[in-house]
Structure 1
Amino acid sequence: MYRIALLTCLLTVSLMNQVSGLETVTGKYGDIVEIPCNNGRVVETEVTFVKWKYDKDGNILVKHRDQNATVSSDVNYKERVGIKKDFSLFITQVSMADQRTFTCMVVGTADILEYPVQLAVYKVPSQPQITNLTTVMAIGKLTTLAQCRSEGANPAANITWFKNKTPLMTDGAAIKITTNVVVDKETGLSTTSSTLEYTAVKGDIDAKFTCQVQHIKSANVDSSPLVFTVNYPTEKVNLQVVSQGPFKEGDNVTLKCTADGNPPPSSYNFYINGEKKTVNSNTYTLTNVTRENTGEYKCSLVDHEDIVSSVAITVEYLDVALSSTGKIVKKLGESLEMTVDVKASGTTEVSWKKGNAKLNSLPKFDNLMYSDSGVYECVASMADLKKTLTFELVVEGSPVIKNLIKERGLGMTKVLKCVAEGFPKPTVQWSVNGSNDESVSEPGKVTYSLTIAPNDNLTVSCTVSNVLGSDIKSINVSSLVEDVKMDKQADQKDEYSDQTVMAVGIVVGLMLAVLAIGVAYWLYMKKFREGSWKTGEKEDGSAEESKKLEENQSQKADV
């Protein structure tokens, strides 16, 4: 009885001296937690015994000085508790049931003290889990996108939704976020779920949505990004020409109609030459186009024909016509003027060639010659279009012999050459037999050669003819023996002539020499007489001698 009275007294004193503050210890769910007794400031030598209890009547264990601790039979703690040297209580496998007030009662020799400690148990939440996920949003329509869930937390986790890393807030109209927290009755842990309802706009295409789990005892954790398909009606269409232009007649042209809606329409109306054609595709191909296909083309939605787009197509064309084509036959001396008619969708260039030679202008002939014959080519071009037309000019004329000559051949032969003009090429007929040959030096001109060995003098005729007429010429041809005689006579005549010329030259030279001597003598005598007159002296000899002398001088001068 005494002992009970003593304990009662000590407890009363303890309650009177108890402080009003309450210490709190935090423990992690499932771990070991240590609850201190008076923050570890209890001295063992001053204590009779220490008792740990919980709540109002729950006993855990008692520790007497110098004795082992005695654990109560409380099913909640008999397998999970212990006491340390400083009288701290430790509990293993802490759960939410352990979140209560534990009291350390210290009984000393003089008084009884109690130190209550509040145990708070926390547990970090699980990773965010996405459920009830949708895949498509429609513009202007409030749609439940997904639910974000985090389980097994204490205290309960918080969930925040983000779009492109910007937090979303409930506005009650375009955005609704509903959060719910459920506590498990067995574990006492909380599960937080958050449902996002969202009204999409066109700018939400490719937007990334995430949910973030937030907890006071852990870092924030984000879910994987969520990307939704945004459906919206078509507001406009666009018609494009897929084929590469410019287009020319005979090409294929493909049109493509695209819409800005999602999903895109599966069929379109194409307006071809004013006629509506509905196709289950977004393309339409014009095959083998002509210039009549030039114009405006349209496409529209099948169910909204007022949503329309158009594009213009131009089919380039080039038509070239010559006044004459094929083979043109003209007579020598006639005239010919070619004309070219060009019709095209743009600016063209026209060039002419005769064979491989480029001409500076369109062919025009006032007086056709054989050399004008040939193949003429007209090339008209515009952008990538090019057309070529040709004609062949043939100048015809009856044959005419322009020259008939003879030449010395090899050995005892002579070569006759008959040069003729005409087309078609004339045939030749010689009046004598021989070795024939021919050569064409230029259009309409041919040289026929005949090699003969004449034994006598003869006359040879050359006859040329074609379908338009004929011509004939003759030439005298001497034998080779007669030519040799004539050559010798010519050589003798040349020799006699040379001798005559030499004789005449000698006589003329002598006459000139005599004349020079006479002139010199005359000049001498004249000078001599003039000198006598000047001195007044008379010449020696009589007048008769003087007269004879003058006559002699005169005769010499005549010779």
Structure 2
Amino acid sequence: MGLPRLVCAFLLAACCCCRRATGVPGEEKQPALTPEPVEVEVGSTALLKCGPSHSAGNFTHVDWFLIHKERQIPIFRVRQGQGQSEPGEYEHRLSLQDSGATLALSQVTPHDERMFLCRSKRPRLPDHSIELQVYKAPEEPTIQANAVGIHVDRQELREVATCVGRNGYPIPQVIWYKNGRPLQEEENRVQIQSSQIVESSGLYTLKSVLNAQLVKEDKDAQFYCELSYRLPSGNRMKESKEVTVPVFYAAEKVWVEVEPEGLLKEGDHVKIRCLTDGNPQPHFTINKQNSSTGEMEEEATDENGILFLEPAQKRHSGFYQCQSLDLETMVPLSSDPQELLVNYVSDVRVDPAAPEAQEGDSLTLTCEAESNQALEFEWLRDKTGQRLGKGPVLQLNNLKREAGGRYLCMASVPNVPGLNRTQLVSVGIFGSPWMASKERKVWVQENAVLNLSCEASGHPQPTISWNVNGSATEWNPDPQTVVSTLNILVTPELLETGAECTASNSLGSNTTIIILKLEKKLPSPESKGVVIVAVIVCILVLAVLGATLYFFYKKGKLPCGRSGKQEITLPPTRKSEFVVEVKSDKLPEEMALLQGSDGDKRAPGDQGEKYIDLRQ
């Protein structure tokens, strides 16, 4: 019996030693816990709850741990409802909320994406594990297109554009688009290379490069990138701006382009340039066919290879051709000759060129012109614009003096709007001078310098003379009319005699009389102002004088009564011996009507006479 007891004692001791060897109380290995995820954005505050949300009561004894590399690092403790941070990286960012059940972590950064453990002893709860998940939206993506360009004839992948998304967490996903459609990697066609950089803040900067083999149809393609990311509120995305990439390809044909389009006419500003279906556009020369030799001759163009016709003329009509040389392939190209037609109207003439006729005669005017199009003719009177008729012939019958003057023939092309030319012709009707007016009045001011004008018409063209001396100038509105202007000083003698102008030609003479009338001078604004000021001053003086008299009257200094004689007492220094008598011119029967306020008539000797005694 002794041996079994010894064996049992030995086994019991061994078991105890094994139990101690496994660890100390509180450090035994914890069973695996399913962590509760808590999502939060960078910069905000994370709320870590010590247990399920339905847990109630005051948490008076709680320990919080950071789980790092399978180690439990204490970061916060609660005793008797009071919280205390442990020294370390979380020492200044932790605070207690909700009766000790919630630990608040402020100013969250990507480095805080860790596991946290809550162990509550009062109340006694199972250990609670929390997985903090941190999110940060990236900045707007920037995109940079290949500015050098891509040649489609080179069978290789070339960099199309680079997309960069900065300061996001976790790493966003990038998707490339061409003309609104997503691009997928395709062998020897499309390749997407993405890389990321971890900033010191823990945020990620994503860089993605799109490589592709482009074709001619991609010359106007729009490329952009999209960043997809997640926030606690859900999935989000941001797009870059759209960019195009220069795509180069050889030209296959060349042609001539003319601006403006449609029918051209003389005077238009015409631009001729060459275009190809290649990119970039090669160097061009513009040739014009010589109408005499039939050979193409080079025209002078500007630095951009454009030929300007400013303005276009009849001689610019002809065949034009473009020639180019593709420096990539060294293949010369030529366009088909293109005809340029500049429509014109020229050499408008009237027959007879200098028509003359007697009063009462008839006259026929014929208009002709040259053009590459069918013409229409119209006749107008030059001064008034009156339309006289259509057609190349104008018939004037039973001519009167008023029919003399200028006529306008307009030759136009109906098919080309705005294309017309005109020709003036002056019709002379023989007769003595005809004055614009026989007599007229002119208002003048004495000693002023005056311009007198006189107009006369006639055929042959008359001359004008004046009966007074002055400086005269003449001008001719048309071949039958003369206008004379006389510069003269207005004197009293000129005001009396007036002026006459006489128009004369080989067939007679005529006179216009100009009567000069003296203008009444109106008061100037300055004088009007002086009068107004004087009136105002007078009104003010009368007002002051009335107020003074009324003041003396109220004070008894100026006694007034109904008696025929009244005395005004003056100071001793103002007394004199003069008596002033004022008599009335009214008749006795009129004066008898004058009564006092009490209705009593005055004595006959007192009617109509008043005496003012100045001696007292």
TM-score when normalising by structure 1: 0.48
Richer in helix (by share): 1
Normalising to structure 2: TM-score of the pair?
0.44
